[in-house]
């Protein structure tokens, strides 16, 4: 009997713990729903900041996006806001709206919270990326002090070939999720072009923007990811043959005029960020039709780097 009593006590305790946990989650969800439906902008921004600090990234994303939604008149409903990253088309539309937004203080605050929460939730935050990014920049011969940074120009492609395995593996693992990258690029673009201290936002915008460009260039099946592409797998397996692979691999921009326009827009953002960071680099004039008619990845690099 004594053993049975202990069993009943244990089961009762476990049940109470589970029920209290469910009740807490239910309360949290109801509180979030109430804020999304009836909270003021100030209340939602404060709650979003608290959620971000507490590691509740879904709530931070929903609350920050709700402020952007209201101010930019996007007409996203509560259900969409609660699961924002589940809808690629919504993320794309939000990114487009942010990129062309008329900035107010509350929109800027909301975007700051949104992009940080998205980066952390998707593990694309600077804390995770920094060591590998620094290593890659060093391997490419790029100085890390913005005022002294210089592109290697015509030597860039040769440096890329030398370190292809490291770089392509990093890009593939980091730059899956095209629409998330577009949202992060757009968010940090808005911050970098409107904040007083814009160095770090410009660095982050450049990083996500380059990732977005690589995604557009390498993604043949248009699933938003590049880890499943044959070119990426081939280069990781045999980096010394990157030139040969790039001459055989079809560009994701080939016969896709919309992606080409997106690529050019991202290229223009990169130029602007490099200007903020005082990075000296040579940029060319891109044409969407020319890019769309360029079949192989190597030919796109020739257009970009003049080789």
Q: Which residues, listed in sequence order, are joined to residue 250 by a DSSP beta bridge?
A: 296
Q: What is the pLDDT along the chain (307 residues), one digit of tens a residue?
A: 444 455 445 444 444 444 444 443 433 577 888 889 889 999 999 999 999 999 999 999 999 999 999 999 999 999 999 999 999 999 999 999 999 898 999 999 999 999 999 999 988 876 666 555 555 555 545 444 433 333 333 344 444 445 555 556 565 667 789 999 999 999 999 999 998 888 888 888 988 998 899 899 999 989 999 888 898 888 778 877 888 988 999 999 999 999 999 999 999 999 999 899 888 888 889 999 999 999 999 999 888 876 5
> In this structure, are residues 209 and 269 in contact, taking their beta carbons and an 8 Å threshold?
yes
Q: How far is CA 134 from the centre of its chain?
A: 18
Alpha-carbon distance of 212 to 255, in angstroms, equals: 18
The token pair at 100 is 């062309």
Q: How far is CA 7 from the centre of its chain?
A: 50
Please name the residues in contact with 115: beta carbons below 8 A apart, sequence gap of 6 or more. Answer: 183, 184, 187, 188, 191, 204
pTM: 0.80
* Nearest CA-CA partner of 102 in 181, 36, 185, 193: 193
Distances (CA, A) of 298 to 95, 247, 252, 301: 29, 5, 12, 5
- For the chain, list the strands marked E by DSSP: none
């Amino acid at each position: 009997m004594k053993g049975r009593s202990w069993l009943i006590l244990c089961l009762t305790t476990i049940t109470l713990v589970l029920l209290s946990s469910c009740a807490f989650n239910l309360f949290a969800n109801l509180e979030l729903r109430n804020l999304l439906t009836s909270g003021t902008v100030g209340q939602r921004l404060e709650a979003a900041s608290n959620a971000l600090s507490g590691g509740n990234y879904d709530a931070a994303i929903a609350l920050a996006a709700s402020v952007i939604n209201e101010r930019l008149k996007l007409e996203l409903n509560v259900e969409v806001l609660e699961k924002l990253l589940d809808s690629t088309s919504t993320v794309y539309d939000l990114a487009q709206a942010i990129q062309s937004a008329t900035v107010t203080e509350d929109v800027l605050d909301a975007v700051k919270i949104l992009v940080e929460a998205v980066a952390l939730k998707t593990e694309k935050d600077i804390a995770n990326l920094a060591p590998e990014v620094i290593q890659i920049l060093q391997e490419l011969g790029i100085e890390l002090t913005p005022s002294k940074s210089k592109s290697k120009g015509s030597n860039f492609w040769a440096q890329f070939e030398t370190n292809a395995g490291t770089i392509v593996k990093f890009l593939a693992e980091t730059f899956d999720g095209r629409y998330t990258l577009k949202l992060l690029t757009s968010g940090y673009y808005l911050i970098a072009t409107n904040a007083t201290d814009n160095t770090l936002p410009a660095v982050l915008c450049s990083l996500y923007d380059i990732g977005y460009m690589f995604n557009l260039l390498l993604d043949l099946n248009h699933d938003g990811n590049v880890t499943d592409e044959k070119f990426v797998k081939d280069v990781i397996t045999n980096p010394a043959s990157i030139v040969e692979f790039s001459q055989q691999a079809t560009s994701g921009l080939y016969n896709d005029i919309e992606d080409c326009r997106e690529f050019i827009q991202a290229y223009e953002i990169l130029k602007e960020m490099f200007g903020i960071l005082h990075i000296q680099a040579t940029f060319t004039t891109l044409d969407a039709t020319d890019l769309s008619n360029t079949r192989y990845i190597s030919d796109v690099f020739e257009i970009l780097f003049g080789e």
